[in-house]
Copies of this chain bind each other. A is one copy, B any other.
Amino acid sequence: MRFFEDLKVGQRREIGSFTFTAEQIKKFAAQFDPQRFHLDEEEGRKSLFGGLAASGWHVGSVCMKLLVADGLRQAREAMARGEEVAIWGPSPGFRELRWIKPVLAGDTITFASEILSLRNSSSRPGWGILEARNSGTNQKGELVFSVLAIAFVPRRGSGG
């Protein structure tokens, strides 16, 4: 993962794709969001979604999963090049979590992250604050998911 100094507003990165199977949709829903349209194909078809739809929290969690995997991949690549690796801090929150279109069983969602703003952290010297739009697009090219994420990113040489 990169240091604050290496980031630029407008940088965009594809972070990976994920196919939501009916089985995964139902399994997540049974544990965390057992609404009828997330649990049963027929109920999904009868709902506003028009099909068995993934819980929005499932979509957000999968986006997080791919972000973390992408970060680890970037870290491994940097280490392989002999570069110092930045370890990002936790996120204080997300804004504007939007489920724009349903994610239905069989849909493949490709997630991307684009840097919207960068600023200094006043509370944590040595850290900067990144704001990024993480989004998901389905196999038809339709935007289905979007969230503004905020993260603490260490500055080079801060020991972060």
Contacts and interface: CB of A to CB of B under 8 A. Distances in A.
Nearest to A87: B36
A158 interface: no
Interface in A42-80: 47-49, 53, 55-57, 60-62, 64-65, 68-69, 72
A48 B90 contact: yes
A106 interface: no
A115 B14 CA distance: 37
A33 B94 CA distance: 15
Interface stretch (A5-13, A96-104, A133-141): A96-104
- Chain A, interface SS category: mixed
A94 B94 CA distance: 10
B65 A33 contact: yes
A62 B32 contact: yes
A152 interface: yes
Interface string A141-160: 00000010000100000000
Contacts of A147: 97
Given A57-B57, A57-B60, A60-B60, A31 B93 contact: no
B99 A37 contact: no
A11 to B, nearest CB: 21
Interface in A119-143: none
5 contacts: A31-B61, A35-B90, A93-B96, A95-B97, A97-B97
Across the A-B interface, the 5 shortest Cβ-Cβ residue pairs? A32-B61, A93-B98, A94-B97, A57-B61, A32-B65
